[in-house]
Structure 1
Amino acid sequence: MALELLNRDVNPETNQAPAPIPVNGDVFGRIGSLETRLARTPREIDAAQAVRYRVFVEEMQATLPPEAMRRRRDVDAYDAICDHLLVLDNAIEGDVEDQIVGTYRLLRQEVALANGGFYSAAEFDIEPLLARHPDKQFMELGRSCVLPDYRTKRVVELLWQGNWAYALRHGMNALFGCASFPGVLPEEHALALSFLHHTVPAVGEWAVSAQPELYRQMDLMPIEGINTRKALSSLPPLIKGYMRLGAMIGDGAVVDHAFNTTDVLVVLPIAAISNRYINYYGADAGRFSS
């Protein structure tokens, strides 16, 4: 599982936008006492891993390798090659590591290919997708989570602002990553999975499928039997947020028993992001990053 559930919808149309940061700063954005930036030290990455443990294991009942469970950290080999986007609440007293309330893990294509590939490739056959776009640079979004008390519009906006600024800074052309439904029975999400399959499939040059040995059917209901309103309400908020941005969903779901989730692959070409979101977050990466 690469992208975790957030409790509120992604909605950039709020009254208070993230404040632009001077180009000579290393912070992507601020709202009040909250700020988003990349982790600067191994201690901050360790703290982000502790936040992930609290969400994935204590809340979502994931089962990690014994050493990770002993250390109470969600950690794997990809942490060493990824950049770690953080949201911090500077109003929290204590060390900076105590202020981390949300995180994303970011992996650029050039880094992934130099280190054995993308995390999502274990579940989804992304090689044909990459091969069809040799002129494009892809970025994988993963391990997204926010502490329960901070699942608000402001925190989600800051995470997206950080992702957008990072993608523009590094010249990324498309984003992708796993998004998760709770539980390991796809049939329990028949309405939502069928709705995604019928309405926002990744097709043509953006087509991608689950690995054949892991493939689970998403087309569990005929399109004429789907109530759109009920289907939308049954989607995890993070997936609805991706859809608003213009994302597509790959073919087939994958059951991740370790993380107790059913995963789908989200594919989001930068060119598909609607202008109202680009205008909101800013078309120039210089607004957010140095």
Structure 2
Amino acid sequence: MGLSWQQGPLGRGPVGRFLTPEPLPERLLYAEPLRRRMRVRFGGEWIADSEDVWLLHEPGRYPVAYFPVTDVEPGVLRAEDRVTQHAELGETAWFTVAAGGESTARAAWQYAAPPAYADVLAGRVAFAWRAMEAFYEEDERIVGHAADPYHRIDIRQTSRHLVVRDGEQVVADSTRPLVLYESGFAPRWYVPREDVDETALTPVEGQTFCPYKGLAGYYDIGEHRGAAWSYVDAWPEVGRVSGMVSFEADEVEVYLDGVRQHLAPGQTVVPHGVDRGLDPDELLATAATRSRPGP
């Protein structure tokens, strides 16, 4: 979650509320300077390179990076006949992106004449994330979407007693779980493998990807599908939960200090697809690179 995604304050179902005497508009847009160098790669070439990128936050969407047209390589953007209308920002012109012998239609867009209150987006263009080969901050690939500065993860050690049951079977019993707090989400509890009866876990095919934690693998527990998951090689930023197991409270019985846990309202996670040309092996390699100390 971030500023406008999932249960963020500008999202469609915020977990909190603004303490104002008058209700806010149903849709609030927020733009801010990224203050990081961002580059875009397509067709094996660098097509955009800028230190003047702005992020646009819209309800229900990941943040989108907008580059000055002057920081895009000449000839990359080919205007299309397609024009759409944005509810707040007006006429939207679309472009085919072409470079390195490749081209993709509807891969970039620009607000032709944004209103005065949105003039920071004038003369800027956004690239469809999955249509591009890759996005980078400096020399490091950024996966999933532009980094949301309002997304935060904190991990804390605790001695609270966590027990997971599938009927009469004890699947996990631990007094040393980690609790992961993620912006806008209810706490998630991660249990060391040594405190889990792994005979109760049946690995299943398929993985999901979190831009902030990495690749997650899933397990069935008895008749409960996808009732547990693990980030076997989590991003270094959340490396403390690598290999640990978390359990879905609406699939199996999860007790914390004797109190039955339940899935918090609105906490259904929307899986994020993997970027174009990015396979699980490359994600793991990316994680290894990020954990390697610099020169």
**TM-score class normalised by the smaller sequence:** under 0.3
Larger radius of gyration: 2
Scaled by the length of structure 2, the TM-score of the pair is 0.26
Which structure dedicates a bigger proportion of its chain to helix?
1
